[in-house]
A and B are shown apart, each in its own frame.
Chain A
Amino acid sequence: MKEKRPPKWADKILQWYCLEYYLEEVQGDLHEWYYENLKHSSRFLNLRYYILIIRYFSLTRSKSFQKLITNPNYLSMKKILLITYRNLKKDKISGFMRLANLAFGISVFLLALIYANYELNYDRFHEKGEDIYRIGQEHGGDRAWAAGPIGLGPYIMENFPDIKKMCRFIPVTETWMEAGEKKLYEDGVYYVDSSALTLFSHEMIQGDKKTALTDPWSIVLTESMAKKYFGDEDPMGKTMQLLVDRGKSRKVTGVIKDVPAQSHLQFDFLCSVYSYGDEDFQRSWRNYFVYTYMEAEKESIDKLREQVRMAFLENYGAPKDTPLVAILTPLHRIHLYTNQEKDNADHGNIYNVYILFSIGVFVLIISCINFINLTVIKGLDRAKEVGLRKTVGAFRPQLIAQFMGENMVLLLFAGICSALILVLVEPFFKELSGLELPLNFINNPQVLLSLAAILIGLELISGIYPAVVLSNFRPAEIIKPLGSTSMKLKKVGLTRKILMITQFSLSLILVIGSIIVYSQLSYMKERDLGFEKEQILLIKLNYSLNRKIEALKQSLAETTGVNHVTVSGDVPGYRISLEPMKIPGDPEEYMSRFLLTDDHFIDAYKIDIKEGEDFNDINPGQPQYIINETMAALSFGDRNPIGQQLVWRDTGRVVGVVKDFNFKSLHSEVEPLTLVRSLDNGYGYVSIQFNAKATDNVLSEIDRISNEVYPDLPKINPEFLDDRFGQLYLAENRLQTIVWFFCLITIVLTISGIFGVASYNAHKRQKEIAIRKVLGAGSSEMIWQLLKGFIVLLGSALLIGLPGAWYLANWWLQDFAYQVSINPLIFVGATIAMLVMIFLSSGLVTFKATNTNPATILKNE
């Protein structure tokens, strides 16, 4: 029989992990144990041997662990951590202030970064996003149009092989949906080509991407809509009716995930476009309401732009030199960079991104300066430590490593704190700003990476300076100060002064900037638009409501509390259509906003008539026009417009000129406007001007009338006009809140900066103060002595901050059609605010210093 020996592999494991120092002894012991046990029982001996070897594994005997803890880097790191901990413990307030400053600064910066990241990443979830363009056009330098004719898509698809895919999106403005018992108004309905689901990358939950929309009577809906209409039942194959389909029903052939918030195109239902009008209509060019998207390689875009232009010209029969340009907007640019006519995209504003991002950077700089100042100030107290270390034999790099290591520890801690702050602030911020920002960035690698980059950057910026300054002290000079050290300390003082001035300037700019942003935004919201928007209710009309429009008007007019009822094609606050107007004998076309109304519009909206009069009943066969001042100046120049002829479809006369009123938001200037009396309106709106006191009554009456006049339709859902205007200023409202939020943080940071420097100054000069006091100086005199330095700094900061703020404010304001005039009092106010901050924060510290009994300070000498 072969002699039994300890298994070789077990020994190898031991040799692999075990420290050399113990190996011989342990292995010997193990072998001895093995042979000893072999005598008694050899059952499972090898297995037991293995187990024993595994049990022998411990950190004290592990090779790699022992290597780690004897590594000099590990040892010095351990030392740095220890000293950092001791220093923080020694001066908790200063440590806390430094940490809080950094954490705040980083949080604000990250917030701005996440916001910018969010806005810049619109429409990035489409796989082919880089190659998708929306086709629009621009005529003779007018504003570009986002929408185009319905025939454009099929035409370019058939004629230009460079276009890989095309998809039309036709919005259905006002419709209801019916499924089983449920019948509700919806506004996220689009007719689309079957390519919609393959061109764009919306995730399909049920159904097939390629075939879901090929049947003319198919419909695809989002997850939440499926839930809304069918609850937990399987929606596939169910039928739905749409108002616009006039009685025919559609089959659900697919369910997609809800459209992500970061998409310029928001929809709930996609219907197949092939049921939208007949073949001739599908190819017609005389309409402008279709958004056409196409996919093509980047290289072919220039060629395609020219081809699409020619397609337009050919189909309109226009000469080749017509100043028409095809505009191919890359998908990613639609959200932030476009402002096109007839666009229903979810728009952001690149300026807001710039503003918030620069605020983020400013706040970060301010907090860094605070951090640097506080670190250097704190460090000066450690001059003796540095001197002693050097005497004992520390080299300068070691000292720099020590200081930078301390900063790194603080920075890492601040980074963790700011992540926590953001997570905590998320629901609060969402409420305030209405933005669904993903502030919890733990699983957002982009933001995490930038956080790491920020920390390293901050370490380099705010860590090196103090480290170099502090490690530069010479032992002899510190222990026995001579001329040169006080020079050096003065130099430290100079840099610190420059930092303080920078900080004051930035704070001034931020405070003034926030006030100006705020006043501009409230100016826009509160400016008199030139018509009554407060007590107006809107009812959107549609095909089925329109059939009994007279009855509806009649019942509404009879309601108590209702002053005027008017029907019009469009209303202020929503897009008003744009039409060419002509004057007989003048070849020019005048583009004007165009409003079909009845007799009551001017009264209901309380628009001022400047010249002429309201619509009248003289000569009812001929159209009557009322134009605004801008249109009068554009088309008639100096001539008196009253009684002039104007042509839309038929020639008519201008009966009145109204004062310009802002029928859009104040983002844009008043455009030419023409009102036409029309007795049979197309779809549009009913506007109800009512008495504020009777609001409740009017609303309940509308409910009752809705049931009475339209028993088989969903309930009418009126909208307040000023709510609509509120929506137009949504972006501004958000910006306003965010700007205030950041401004507040700036102020807090500035105060903490002043507080830190002031307490240091007071501390350094406490002996001087005590002696002065003994010699008879009053408290107020000494407070002044200490404040003087700050006032000088503020004075210099004013020289930079005020012009800077003025320049930036003007840069920002120039983009607005209506600008608030910059009130010089804002500048005075901000200066006074800074002074108050300085007085309060440094005064408090100083007051404490001057009120101490001189004996307590002087007895230490």
Chain B
Amino acid sequence: MKGTHLGEFEELVLLTTAVVDGNAYTVSIVSEIENSTGRKLTLSSIHTALVRLEKKGFVTSYMGGTTKERGGRRRRLYKITAPGYAALNQARETRTKMWDKIPELSFDFKGLT
């Protein structure tokens, strides 16, 4: 297996998959990300990220139901796995640790004048 590093974009997609758990597929993830962050993303980039996450073992997928708009085509639903959850957690912990290390910053650059 390739590296299990979680990129920024992958992390976002994985997070969203967890958020909309049970109804996580490409279209729903796109709209969820747009709603919560304002980022407009294309279907293809999300799909590519999902495929990659699946290869890394962070999500699994199964075929779900369909709607009229889909013309009878089923959707592939993605579900976060335990390793995926652990990876998310680790990313958050790393971040928290790093935040804690930041000393008090002053932004008023008085010394420069």
| Alpha-carbon gap, A34 to B27, bound state (A) | 11
| A58 near B70: Cβ-Cβ < 8 Å | no
Of B51, B67, B70, B75, the most chain A CB neighbours within 10 A belong to B70
| B73 near A31: Cβ-Cβ < 8 Å | yes
What's the least CB distance linking A546 to chain B, in Å? 90
| A33 near B43: Cβ-Cβ < 8 Å | yes
| B73 near A25: Cβ-Cβ < 8 Å | yes
| A58 near B48: Cβ-Cβ < 8 Å | yes
**Among the listed A24, A27, A32, A52, which residue makes an inter-chain contact with B44, where contact means beta carbons less than 8 Å apart?**
A52
Interface SS of chain A? helix
- Residues in chain B near residue A56, CB distance under 8 A: 43-44, 47
| B67 near A25: Cβ-Cβ < 8 Å | no
**Among the listed B45, B51, B69, B76, which residue makes an inter-chain contact with A32, where contact means beta carbons less than 8 Å apart?**
B69
Q: A337 contacts the other chain (Cβ, under 8 Å)?
A: no
Q: A30 contacts the other chain (Cβ, under 8 Å)?
A: yes
A34-61 interface with B by 8 A CB criterion: 34-36, 52, 55-56, 58, 60-61
Using A29-B43, A32-B69, A55-B44 as known contacts, say yes or no to A24 and B74 having CB atoms under 8 A apart. yes
- Residues in chain A near residue B69, CB distance under 8 A: 31-32, 34-36
| B66 near A28: Cβ-Cβ < 8 Å | yes
Of A24, A36, A52, the most chain B CB neighbours within 10 A belong to A24
**Among the listed B45, B47, B48, B63, which residue makes an inter-chain contact with A29, where contact means beta carbons less than 8 Å apart?**
B47
| B44 near A58: Cβ-Cβ < 8 Å | yes
| B70 near A31: Cβ-Cβ < 8 Å | yes
| A29 near B26: Cβ-Cβ < 8 Å | yes
User: Which range contains the number of B residues in contact with the other chain?
Assistant: 20 to 34
| B75 near A25: Cβ-Cβ < 8 Å | yes
Q: A425 contacts the other chain (Cβ, under 8 Å)?
A: no
Q: B42 contacts the other chain (Cβ, under 8 Å)?
A: yes
- Residues in chain B near residue A22, CB distance under 8 A: 47, 51
Nearest residue in B to A53 (C-beta to C-beta)?
B44
| A52 near B70: Cβ-Cβ < 8 Å | no
| B75 near A28: Cβ-Cβ < 8 Å | yes
| Alpha-carbon gap, A43 to B80, bound state (A) | 36
What's the least CB distance linking A15 to chain B, in Å? 12
- Residues in chain B near residue A27, CB distance under 8 A: 71, 73
Number of chain A residues whose Cβ lies closer than 8 Å to a Cβ of chain B: 20
| A52 near B27: Cβ-Cβ < 8 Å | no
| Alpha-carbon gap, A60 to B74, bound state (A) | 21
| Alpha-carbon gap, A60 to B52, bound state (A) | 9
| B48 near A52: Cβ-Cβ < 8 Å | no
What's the least CB distance linking B21 to chain A, in Å? 18
Using A56-B44, A58-B44, A58-B48 as known contacts, say yes or no to A33 and B73 having CB atoms under 8 A apart. no
- Residues in chain A near residue B73, CB distance under 8 A: 24-25, 27-28, 31
Using A24-B74, A25-B75 as known contacts, say yes or no to A30 and B43 having CB atoms under 8 A apart. yes
Of A24, A28, A30, A52, the most chain B CB neighbours within 10 A belong to A28
| B51 near A60: Cβ-Cβ < 8 Å | yes
| B43 near A52: Cβ-Cβ < 8 Å | yes
**Among the listed B25, B42, B63, B66, which residue makes an inter-chain contact with A52, where contact means beta carbons less than 8 Å apart?**
B42
| B71 near A31: Cβ-Cβ < 8 Å | yes
- Residues in chain A near residue B76, CB distance under 8 A: 24-25
Q: A205 contacts the other chain (Cβ, under 8 Å)?
A: no
| A28 near B71: Cβ-Cβ < 8 Å | yes
Of B26, B66, B73, the most chain A CB neighbours within 10 A belong to B73
Q: A26 contacts the other chain (Cβ, under 8 Å)?
A: yes
| A26 near B27: Cβ-Cβ < 8 Å | no
Using A29-B25, A29-B26, A55-B42 as known contacts, say yes or no to A60 and B48 having CB atoms under 8 A apart. yes
| B70 near A26: Cβ-Cβ < 8 Å | no
Nearest residue in B to A27 (C-beta to C-beta)?
B73
CB-defined interface of A494-521 with B at 8 Å, one 1/0 digit per residue?
Answer: 0000000000000000000000000000
- Residues in chain B near residue A55, CB distance under 8 A: 42, 44-45
- Residues in chain B near residue A26, CB distance under 8 A: 26, 47
Nearest residue in B to A34 (C-beta to C-beta)?
B69
- Residues in chain B near residue A61, CB distance under 8 A: 51
Nearest residue in A to B50 (C-beta to C-beta)?
A25
B37-72 interface with A by 8 A CB criterion: 42-45, 47-48, 51, 63, 66-67, 69-71
Using A60-B48, A60-B51 as known contacts, say yes or no to A29 and B75 having CB atoms under 8 A apart. yes
What's the least CB distance linking A838 to chain B, in Å? 53
Using A56-B47, A58-B44 as known contacts, say yes or no to A25 and B74 having CB atoms under 8 A apart. yes
| A29 near B27: Cβ-Cβ < 8 Å | yes
| Alpha-carbon gap, A61 to B67, bound state (A) | 24
CB-defined interface of B9-33 with A at 8 Å, one 1/0 digit per residue?
Answer: 0000000000000000111001000
What's the least CB distance linking A192 to chain B, in Å? 72
| Alpha-carbon gap, A36 to B69, bound state (A) | 9
| Alpha-carbon gap, A27 to B47, bound state (A) | 12
Q: Besides A24-B76, A26-B47, A31-B70, 9 other CB < 8 A contacts? A: A25-B73, A25-B74, A29-B75, A32-B67, A33-B30, A36-B27, A55-B44, A56-B43, A56-B47
Chain B residues engaging chain A, CB cutoff 8 angstroms: 25-27, 30, 42-45, 47-48, 51, 63, 66-67, 69-71, 73-76
Chain A residues engaging chain B, CB cutoff 8 angstroms: 22, 24-36, 52, 55-56, 58, 60-61
| CB-based closest 9 A-B pairs | A28-B73, A28-B70, A25-B76, A56-B44, A35-B69, A55-B44, A29-B26, A32-B69, A24-B73
Can you list 11 residue pairs at the A/B interface with Cβ under 8 Å? A24-B63, A25-B63, A28-B71, A29-B26, A29-B47, A31-B73, A32-B69, A33-B30, A35-B69, A56-B44, A61-B51
